[in-house]
Amino acid sequence: MLKIHNVYKSFNNTKVQEKVLENINLEIETASVLGLAGPSGSGKSTLLRCIQKLENIDSGSIVCDGRVCFMFQDFQLFPHMTVEQNLTYAPSLKNKDKKEDYKEQAKSMLQTLGIESKANEYPRTLSGGEKQRVALARSLMISPDILLCDEPTSGLDIASSEDVVSLLKSVNKLGVTLIIASHDLDFLLKISDRIVLLKNGSIVMDIAPREHTDSLDKLKGYY
């Protein structure tokens, strides 16, 4: 369960204080999929960054049970490490005795994602879709309870986007709560149990698309 209560966040630009999030209240059930929709600059990514504590909030509270992990829009794989090292480095630090187990886990995860042949390659040799999979695998290696995904389909072709949908669905089936920020409404409709629309830093709509099909036109109207 993730509880966001009355969150306010602003950035101090040169002279003016720019409001980015205002009065954000959300309760997200465990193992659900929440889509954060909204145009560019609406505050989706900032909200994810606040949940991950990459940004400090000005007021309000964010309470979550369990481990949170963040999947960056530009992946942020470690370029000097091979794919396998990217996956095993963080978990091995916590438990050095299990290094071999983590290698096996990474191998089987890469196999599931269809990129087992890339285990010993460096990120710069991978395509966008492959990097996306590695980033997902790296996040899953630390067994997160909540996975935050920032624009997971940006820069991917249609086929790769479809793959991301099915991959994220299978991750969700493992009991991981997903919070996905995307400006791609069609993508969010395919995967989300609930969609929250942000505009100018505030929530303007909060719907369950499968239950409220009539609200979809209204949602699309905001774009």
Q: Which one among 80, 99, 210, 218 touches other proteins, defined by CB under 8 A?
A: 80
Region binding other proteins by CB under 8 A among candidate stretches 28-36, 69-77, 126-134, 178-186: 69-77
Calculate the CA dihedral of residues 188, 189, 195, 199 and round it to 10 degrees.
70
DSSP assignment of 35-99 = EEE--TTSSHHHHHHHHTTSS--SEEEEEE-S-EEEE-TT----TTS-HHHHHHHHHHHH-GGGH
Q: Which one among 16, 93, 158, 159 touches other proteins, defined by CB under 8 A?
A: 93
Least Å from the CB of residue 168 to other proteins: 17
H or E element that contains 195: strand 194-199
Q: Which one among 29, 30, 41, 78 touches other proteins, defined by CB under 8 A?
A: 78
Rg (CA), the chain: 18
Least Å from the CB of residue 95 to other proteins: 12
Q: Which one among 13, 14, 16, 79 touches other proteins, defined by CB under 8 A?
A: 79
CB closer to other proteins out of 80 and 169: 80
**What does the block give as tokens for 58?**
């000005």
**Does residue 102 bind other proteins (CB under 8 A)?**
no
**What does the block give as tokens for 15?**
């002279």
Rounded Cα–Cα distance for residues 187 and 190 (Å):
5
Q: Which one among 4, 26, 62, 69 touches other proteins, defined by CB under 8 A?
A: 69
Least Å from the CB of residue 78 to other proteins: 6
Region binding other proteins by CB under 8 A among candidate stretches 23-31, 71-79, 188-196, 207-215: 71-79
> Does residue 127 come out as left (phi exceeding 0), alpha (psi in the -120 to 50 range) or beta?
beta
CB closer to other proteins out of 71 and 207: 71
Q: Which residues bind other proteins (CB under 8 A)?
A: 52, 54, 67-70, 72, 74, 76-82, 89-90, 93-94, 122, 138-139, 142
